[in-house]
Structure 1
Amino acid sequence: MATGWAGDGAVQDQIDATVDDAVSRARRQLRTGPGLIRCEECDVEIPEARRKAVPGVRLCVACQEIQDREHASAAIFNRRGSKDSQLR
């Protein structure tokens, strides 16, 4: 059942597009190639197991956790608007 100007699958299409955008953004952030032997932030040696597991690694685990927390706190918003805003 369509309501207003939205088609029958509009909400699911919006969800799919948001997920696709997030996956694309994550893939663009992946590094490739050989990783660093020492962390570029604190100069601690990066273990060989981490270098093998994470291609293009540049940070030690501790610095990576700090960076992940900082990026997680950044406000992420839905460019397409929330469901509530569409119902008004």
Structure 2
Amino acid sequence: MADIADTAGDHIEKELEMVLANHRNRQLAPASSDPYCEECDNEIPAARRAALPGCANCVDCQQMIEHQKRTRGI
């Protein structure tokens, strides 16, 4: 027969497993995209948001950012 310490230990272990599983699921879930570009505030097309969950910029602004990174060596 399990004593109170064993029961408490089992409960804590199950709780920890649930918390870790929830944390993993949140990390794996793609971030939802804001419908507006962070740079220019124009609407990001729904097709782009669906293709790239979590994107923050419209195509034009993203191309500009990538060009700046290439030219600055970032």
Alignment TM-score, normalising by the size of structure 2 = 0.56
Aligned residues: 45
Give the equivalent residue in structure 2 for 1:63: 61
Alignment TM-score, normalising by the size of structure 1 = 0.47
Give the equivalent residue in structure 2 for 1:49: 47
Q: Could you say which structure has the larger radius of gyration?
A: 2
Give the equivalent residue in structure 2 for 1:12: none
Q: How far off its partner does 1:75 sit?
A: 2.8
Quote the sequence identity (%).
42
Unaligned runs of 5+ in 2: 1-29
Please give the residue correspondences for 1:6-21 in structure 2 after superposition, counting only pairs within 5 Å.
none
Unaligned runs of 5+ in 1: 1-31, 77-88
Q: Distance in 1 between matches of 2:67 and 2:43?
A: 22
